[in-house]
Structure 1
Amino acid sequence: MGENPRREPAVAGMFYPQEAAEIKSEARILNEAAEKYLQVRPDLPPDDPQVSGQVKAIVAPHAGWVFSGMLAAAAWRRAALGRKATKRILLLGPTHRIAIRGVALPGCDQFGTPAGMLAVPTQKVLEQTQELPLKVTIDPLTHREEHALEVQVPLIIENFGEDVQLIPLNVGEAAPKAVAEIIDALADEQTLIAVSSDLSHYHPCNQAERIDEATIAQIQNLELPLTSEQACGVRPLNGLLELCRQREIYPRLIGNYNSGDTPYAGSDRVVGYAAFEVRSGS
């Protein structure tokens, strides 16, 4: 058993709805909007893993659902349709509130939202990573109020059900190669890798578009490292991209926009969002 039986929701009612029924309803609506969005993306390959290769990893944004929820849902939908079987999801995100060195689990048995909890195989993760130079630790404090992982959980449940296990890792100060080693140690055919990250923050819309366009090109071409000015989840993202570089597989853009493109924000200080997938044989 983990140090804490449950990691309680911290941002329900702020980044996504408060009540279970509303969370589930909104997650379904986001999925339906994502499916329509994906249908008009002509550059994406078929979602059949037998045709296009299996989705190994995704990158999904983590702002409030009214801003980036549809794009996050598109990433999770592509993953759900583009995999043969998924029993675990390795979800890595940044530390917005409590900075740490290294990579940390919350030390719980369950992690979720008012609409559902996912089991966390804490002891198994510690065993799988104990021989690495950078060991995974347990740090409940850095997870307690963090939103980057929590906002993804209802979308995971909507697309994969409640039987899938979740490995929630907060990534603080850590070298890309060290993070890549952790991802590699935990990844297998039945484990989906997911990084939670937004792109640039608080630039005028035109400037943000230029910055994000350059960042997207870097990601697609595996030009490392990205900086914290380009993506708030830069540390887990650089780790994933380092692993992609080692395996010579390239991310593909699912889609992108910024908060200024939504009805809920102005265009003077926007946040950029992008979703990517990494497929076997990419």
Structure 2
Amino acid sequence: MLLNVIERGPEGSASGRPPVVFLHGLFGRGRNFGFFQRSLSATYRTLALDLRNHGDSPHGPMDYPTLAADVRETLAAHNALPAIVIGHSMGGKTAMMLALTAPADVVALMVADIAPGEGGLAHTQDIAQGLVALPMPASLDLSGAAAWMAPVVRDKAVRDLMIQNLQLGEHPRWRIGLREIRDALDTIVGWPALPQGTHYDGPTLFVAGGESRYIQPENYPEMRRLFPHYRLEVIPGAGHWLHAQKPKEFLAITEQFVSSVQDRTSPSQVQTQD
């Protein structure tokens, strides 16, 4: 599946520098990374993707191998491989899956506040089910949408995020594949079994919010098994939405990481052992 892409880059050639790709989290969209794209695009070619069932991309059944395959197909169509891939939450799991299944296409990997394993996103299951069941009014404006959604989505930040996924006005509708997302949530909260010995040898940075519980010490052994060269940085005072809550700190970490791998031209390989 070809995904919707927002592309920004420097005038002229960025030869020798791999593209930087951003993958958003559940219920998000590529433009959530606009601040970081604008900041990096003076030097790097950047692409922010709407994952399937999100933003302006097509809808369909979803799991992490499928999401990763969509990303690979889309980047190949844009002549944007290999790339430095940055993903938050669900987008981070998608980025990890891409690195593990198509290592030659991933120069380096940055994962924001999610671990490779079961967990995270669980609170969204009730939200998705509740919103699917909520009767759609004949019309909605911005304030009306907030009031309509409030009984199901009590957190204002999450409510504001979800409102971005509505087409307001007369005959409002969801732009996202809400039913497809709901049906896939058990899979999205989880993490698929991988062949014994599978790992990605490239540079890998996990960035955790200091106030978030999405990456815990019990995740470290699996992180080391799958990504033996990983590093972990923590942004103090940030929760799960660390790039929105601490944008300057997240940008500084991103710029340093991208700069450190920009000249890497021989991506590492995943190895599988019996």
With normalisation by structure 1, the TM-score equals: 0.27
The structure richer in strand per residue is: 1
Q: Which has the higher contact order (CA 8 A, sep 6+)?
A: 1
